[in-house]
Amino acid sequence: MNTYSGLKLRAEDDEDLAIISACLRRALGSLGEMAYDRAARRFAAILVRPLWETAPPKGDMDKDDEEPDMVALGRMRAGLHFDHVSAVRFRHLDHAEPNKLLHLVAIVSASLSERFAIILSFEGGGEIFLEVDKIHGQMRDLDAPPANIHKPDTPPDEPFEDAKL
């Protein structure tokens, strides 16, 4: 069966985190859709990500276009969370405006002495700094995928032919 249930990604190192960052690049969110559960040591966010997988191949776009048309691309809600979080800090983000749209630029990690930092960077210089014991996060699409997402082709089940000797 050829079904697509949306993206489900896990991050346990810098390379995994870079993949999630690429999928969430230019995602929209707000502080009101983000929370830190101190008892569970989990930071979670709901973001609305671009459907990069519906973009035409680079060879099909005009040479002047660096990125596909964001309006035509479509968007989907995605959940993001990180575990083993011991502290959350905000920089240049206004808590008085919890519904203000934030445009995600990147998610990166940095090594601290005996710990790690995961940094969510937003347009305009805003950042969320997560102090974590180890990198352990997940991103998952929350909506049903639209019909125009490319689904990998799988060959039909065919019986094996008898070998002729």
| Within a domain: 117 | yes
Task: Give the model confidence (pLDDT) of 8-63 as tens digits.
Answer: 999 999 999 999 999 999 999 999 999 999 999 999 999 999 988 777 666 554 55
Residue 120's pLDDT band (cuts 50, 70, 90) = very high
Domain count within the chain: 1
Residues 6 or more apart in contact with residue 159 via CB below 8 angstroms? none
Report which secondary-structure segment, H or E, holds 131. strand 127-132
pTM score: 0.79
| Within a domain: 157 | no
Compute the average pLDDT of residues 139-147.
83
| Within a domain: 75 | yes
